[in-house]
Amino acid sequence: MLSFFRDYKLFAVVFGIISVIIIAIIYNTLNVYQPLPIYQPAMVSTALVDSTIQYKKKYHKIADFSLVNQNGETVTQDNYKDKIYVADFFFTTCQTICPIMTDHMAQIQKEIKSDTEVMLLSHSVTPKIDTVAQLKRYSLKKGVDDDKWNLVTGDKKQIYELARKSYLAVKTNGDGGPFDMIHTENFMLIDKKRQIRGFYDGTNPEDIDKLLHDIAILKEEYNR
C-alpha cells in the first residue's frame, strides 16, 4: 500500500511538472508578439486623404516640414529624428473637441515625461490666428513641457499638405479656399522611420490607454 502511494506521489509530481510546461507553451503561443500595422493611404478613409495619394499602398512616410513652435523656434523633422511621436491637429480657439484632446495630450506628456524616445507634436489648422504669442499663451495654460511637446504654426498650405498627404488626418470642406481644413479628433502614432503606426480617438480615454500601450509595443519592436 505504501509503495502504491509513493508511486502515485511520483506520478503526481511528474504530471504537475508536465502540465506547467504545457500551460507555459500554450500561453507563449497565444501571446506571440504582434507588431503594430504600418498605415498606408489606401487603408484610411478617403475623406481624410488627398486624392493624389488615395491609391498608395506602401512606402508612405511623413514628409519633411519646417514650422514654428510656441517659443518662436523652427521645428523640423530633425527635431523628431529617431523619435517615436504622437501628432494631432487642433486650434487654440476651438471650444468643442480641442480642449479634451489637449488635456489628453497633457496626460500622455505626463506618462512619457522621463522617456527620451517619445515626443508630441500638435499642428494648428488656423495658423493666422495661432501666432507664436497665441501658442505660447495656450501652452502655458495647458502645462506644455517645451522639451517634450511642440505646438506649431506656419504656412497654411504646408500644414494642409502635411495633414492630408502625410498624417492622413483632416477633412476639407472645400468652400472657403483651397487649403481649408476641418480637423478631426485623430491622434497619430509615428515611428522612428516616419511611418504611421496607429490612429486613436483623442477624445476617448480608452483610446488614450491603447495609445500608451501601443507606444510600449513600438518600443519593444526596436529592442528586438
Nearest alpha carbon to residue 74 among 148, 135, 152: 152
Regarding beta strands 186-190 and 74-76, do their DSSP bridges make them parallel or antiparallel, or are they unpaired?
unpaired
CA angle centred on 158, ends 156 and 163, rounded to 5°: 95
Gap between the Cα atoms of 203 and 70, Å rounded: 23
Smallest CA-to-CA distance from 219 within 200, 187, 192, 188 is with: 192
Tally of CB atoms within 10 A around 151: 29
Whether residue 183 is annotated as binding a ligand: the answer is yes
**98 marked among binding-site residues:** yes
**Is 94 labelled as part of a ligand binding site?**
yes
Radius of gyration of the chain (CA): 24
CA 134 remoteness from chain centre:
25
Q: Which residues contribute to the annotated binding site?
A: 94, 98, 183
Q: Binding site for Cu cation: which residues?
A: 94, 98, 183
